[in-house]
Amino acid sequence: MVAYGKPPKLTIGLRKLYDTGEGKSTCEKEGEGMRFESYGKCFVCGEENPGGLRLRFEIDKDRKTLKTTFVAGEIFQGFDGVVHGGIVSTLLDEAMAKLAYELGYGGITAVLEVRFKKPAPILTPLLVHGEIVEVRPRLIQAVARMTTEDGTVLATARSTLMRPKEG
């Protein structure tokens, strides 16, 4: 995958929110930063969420990539026969954030940009791929895409994940 260019600037307010832990939900305050714990009720990957997707991911730590397959039922449609854009966005975000977590980088999504290329059909295997493209002391850049089995690109995404302060 190719990175999409320069990452957007993070606001001072977002940095402060992240660094202080104010407004946190599924994490614990630890010193000046935050430490995320595995959360079994995650909508996408949580085993303890009866209404969740419970997706499993294949992770290649050497290549810093992740992939999964999802078949959306009718309850996930926006327009007739089309997966809701919010579900598509959620899957792309999870591919990037989950990969960062599993590789030990930590971080939360600070910026998410999704480009919808074609409607994602329901009742069809949808492949989701994520990749970490840059790791810096406080930021991670990642990209993701959703395709059909024949390789047709349905949506692409890029994100900036913010990492906790060290110490």
Across the beta sheet with 139-148, the strand order is 58-60, 65-71, 125-135, 139-148, 153-162, 108-116
* Tokens found for residue 99: 């990969």
Domain 57-162 CATH class label: alpha beta
Domain limits, the chain: 57-162
Q: What confidence score (pLDDT) does residue 37 get?
A: 52
- What is the DSSP track for 63-82? TTEEEEEEE--GGGBSSTTB
Q: What confidence score (pLDDT) does residue 8 get?
A: 42
Q: What confidence score (pLDDT) does residue 128 get?
A: 97
Closest CA to 125 of 157, 92, 89, 150: 150
List per-block mean pLDDT (blocks of 10 residues) for the chain, which spans 167 residues: 40 47 37 49 79 86 94 93 96 94 90 98 96 94 98 98 79
Contact assessment for residue 56 and residue 95, using Cβ atoms and an 8 Å cutoff: no
Contact assessment for residue 130 and residue 143, using Cβ atoms and an 8 Å cutoff: yes
> d(Cα 39, Cα 22) in Å, to the nearest integer?
19
Q: What's the pTM? A: 0.77
* Tokens found for residue 131: 């990749």
Phi, psi of 112 (to 5 degrees): -135, 125
What is the dihedral angle through the alpha carbons of 95, 98, 104, 107, rounded to the nearest 10 degrees?
100
Q: What confidence score (pLDDT) does residue 51 get?
A: 82
